[in-house]
Amino acid sequence: MQPNYPLYCDNCFLIKDLKIPLQLTIIEKTTWNAKFAKCDQDERNEYSNEIYPTFDVETGSGEVEWEPEFICPNCKNKAWILNSHLVYNEEDDKLYIPLYDPDDILGWNKPSKEHGPKELPKICHLRDIKNVATTT
């Protein structure tokens, strides 16, 4: 299936002036609860003779998650801003892209800065911090 509204790599567009469609990959991520204990004897690398600290691992219950990820096939960069806003419903294979913007040249738009701080934090000098610490 070809995307009818492709999303493009911002890195290639900004640096190389190329419009490269991003490639969607779905990653299966399994997370296990585990315990580990030091082995009685460490393993030794047969070539370098270096000793590796070795541990026994016992896995417990696990959980499988599916994570969508857009990657540029040209520069291999992950579209981390776009990826951090994706929502994937694996039950019905639906992908929700809140940053999707068909009017933008890349097909998606970076989030507005309204959610961030309204003003930059004030710069504190070390001498001011020392003065506050001695007066309290």
pLDDT string in tens for the chain (136-residue length): 666 778 999 999 999 899 999 999 999 988 989 999 999 999 998 899 999 999 999 988 888 889 999 999 999 999 999 999 999 988 888 999 999 998 888 989 887 665 555 666 677 777 776 655 555 5
**Domain annotation covers residue 107:** yes
Indicate whether 73 belongs to any domain: yes
Other C-beta atoms closer than 10 Å to the C-beta of 19 total 13
Of 86, 108, 105, residue with least CA distance to 97: 86
Residue 4 domain-assigned (yes or no): no
3-class SS of residue 88: strand
Cβ pair 51, 43 in contact under 8 A: yes
* 2 domain residue, yes or no: no
Amino acid at 122: K
pLDDT reported for residue 2: 62
List beta partners, residue 133. none
User: Can you give the residue range of the structural domain that contains 120?
Assistant: 10-135
99 domain-assigned: yes
pTM of the model: 0.61
Taking residue 114's Cβ as centre, other Cβ atoms within 10 Å add up to 6
pLDDT of 115 reads 54
Does residue 1 sit within a domain?
no
Asked, for residue 3, whether it belongs to a domain, the answer is no
CB 54 within 8 Å of CB 10: no
The whole-number pLDDT of residue 6 equals: 85
Residue 35 lies in a domain: yes
The structural domain count of the chain equals 1
